[in-house]
Structure 1
Amino acid sequence: MGTHRSLTFLLLLLGLCAPGTYVTATALPDLPRVVALSEDAMPGTRVAEVTVSCSNASGSPNVTLQSTEPGHPFNPIAISADPANATMFLAEVTLHACAELNARKMNQYSLTLWAACPGEEEVEERLFVQVTAGQVLRCDTPFASAVQASKPQHSAHAHPPGPGAGACQRL
């Protein structure tokens, strides 16, 4: 009876380890956990570049990004193929064209990346983007004159550079 049980166990193990009997998960081997980003960073700035590793070359992976903060300043993930390896892809997180970072208002974003290659299990990983104070002078509240405390004298606001800056739409 003991030999039969041991033999059954060995056959079960061999079946689990046999090639083609399991589904592998997509991998994000070089995803950083924390990235520092200056509030002076320009729209389009690369925040993180991540390798997406698939076990087969049957197609491009699907990588999506979600933030816990509504109206986050990040673009949808851009995917490109690695010319040196058919099972590797580069996923890039960049700042949105309307991105206005302010470390005093929001100093950390929590991003979740979901990645899945065709025929493979989806993987979910976290990326934290810490926004650091920049060198640009920011005045979030108007200055008040010493003579007239109720009347604002100066107010500075950040505006995205370039044509159509006022008509910026979030995706």
Structure 2
Amino acid sequence: MKKGLNIAILLVFLVWAGYFVYANFFYGGIGNGTKDLTTIDSLENGQAVNLNDYLGKKKLILQFVAVPCDCCSYTIPFMKEIAEEQDEIQLITVVFSGKENKIAEKFAEYEMNYPWGLDLDRSIANHYGATTSPTFVFFDEKGNLLGSYPYVVANKESLLNNYQGYYNDYYQKKGSEKL
């Protein structure tokens, strides 16, 4: 009888622990209710980045990164180049993993010239399916989600070509749906 009770308690504990891990990893916590999926927290002057200020205004690339991540660090210089050279594309980097002090240190080193922020509860990253670092999520100028690219890109041309490929695929698919 005692062995059966111990097994039952162990099973209840395992189910609870599984739910706890699942809820925290995929939904940003238990009992948090509906999370705002448009506001990206900031370390800089307390100014949050609101995706609604950018979606539907021009083409948008969200870059989801972790700190530290050598692959992510590799992409930042050409992301900054795109931000300087491209008026029709808005870039936003979203940090979804890392410790705030390390993130602040790393982004001070980057000297970012475009918006970036924190999503440490992973709610926005999970919403867009960003599970690896880096992941690029593409939107068109109307705010339509074109898709995501969960890989490192070699240079700015590669990133822009990937964006254009997703853009073309989206509109080809949309055009074929009208037929």
Give yes or no for TM over 0.5.
Answer: no
Bigger radius of gyration, 1 or 2?
Answer: 1
Q: More strand by proportion, 1 or 2?
A: 1
Q: More helix by proportion, 1 or 2?
A: 2
TM-score, normalising length from structure 2? 0.26
